[in-house]
């Protein structure tokens, strides 16, 4: 009987932690405070895979959707004057160099896209679909200016396993918000 009670308490606590974890709470990073509306089964990790913050979706056949967030202290970035659209060639060249080091191949580049999310101004994105061996990946990079900081947000997922999850990823990204660490934080 004690084991059943202990198991019930653990399951209850786990449910509370999962719901709290999925909330729109602020996450403190070195250069900014950020928040996302995360689905209940998504988790966040600080300082993982070279990113100050990574959001991950649930595991599916050993893989997850990942969203890496990097705030920058760059204030006068070169794209401000020239526009991100003019940097597409550089993005493609860098992607080709990277994929050649992995013995992969690029299937498609996504065109430059300028949008906005509900808590930010302009969001500029590029992306590409590529193969490493027989596994196809979809990767997109988003650049935005929030609270006087440049943010780079990168999404990555296995195409075959997570096809159809684009709306969920877009919903998470659209909820992005930030607060500068210089300003008072409440």
Residue-wise pLDDT tens digits, 157-175: 999 999 999 999 999 999 9
Burial pattern 80-118, b for ≥16 Cβ within 10 A else e, equals: eeeebeebeeebeeebeeebeeeebeeeebeebeeeebe
**Residue pLDDT tens, the chain, 186 long:** 333 333 333 333 344 333 334 445 888 887 788 889 989 899 999 999 889 999 999 999 999 999 999 988 776 665 555 567 677 888 899 999 999 999 999 999 999 898 999 988 889 999 999 999 999 999 999 998 887 788 899 999 999 999 999 999 999 999 999 887 654 433
pLDDT at residue 82, as a whole number: 59
Domain residue spans of the chain: 2-180
Structural fold of domain 2-180? Protein Transport Mog1p; Chain A (3.40.1000)
Phi, psi dihedrals of residue 93, rounded to the nearest 5°: -60, -45
Q: For residue 126, with 0-12 CB atoms within 10 Å meaning exposed, 13-18 middle and 19 or more buried, which class applies?
A: buried
The structure tokens listed for 37 are 């509306």
- Which residue(s) pair with 152 in the sheet? 70, 143
**Widest CA span in the chain:** 69
């Amino acid at each position: 009987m004690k084991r059943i009670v202990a198991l019930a308490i653990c399951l209850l606590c786990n449910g509370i932690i999962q719901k709290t974890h999925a909330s729109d709470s602020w996450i403190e990073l070195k250069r900014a405070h950020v928040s996302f509306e995360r689905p209940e089964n998504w988790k966040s990790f600080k300082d993982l895979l070279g990113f100050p913050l990574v959001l991950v979706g649930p595991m599916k056949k050993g893989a997850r959707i990942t969203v890496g967030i990097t705030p920058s202290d760059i204030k006068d970035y070169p794209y401000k004057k020239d526009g991100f659209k003019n940097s597409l060639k550089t993005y493609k060249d860098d992607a080709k160099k990277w994929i050649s080091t992995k013995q992969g191949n690029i299937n498609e580049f996504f065109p430059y896209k300028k949008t906005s999310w509900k808590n930010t101004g302009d969001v500029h994105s590029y992306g590409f679909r590529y193969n490493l061996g027989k596994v196809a990946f979809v990767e997109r990079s988003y650049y935005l200016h929030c609270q006087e900081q440049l943010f780079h947000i990168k999404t990555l997922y296995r195409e075959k396993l997570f096809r159809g999850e684009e709306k969920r990823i877009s919903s998470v990204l659209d909820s992005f918000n930030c607060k500068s660490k210089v300003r008072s934080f409440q």
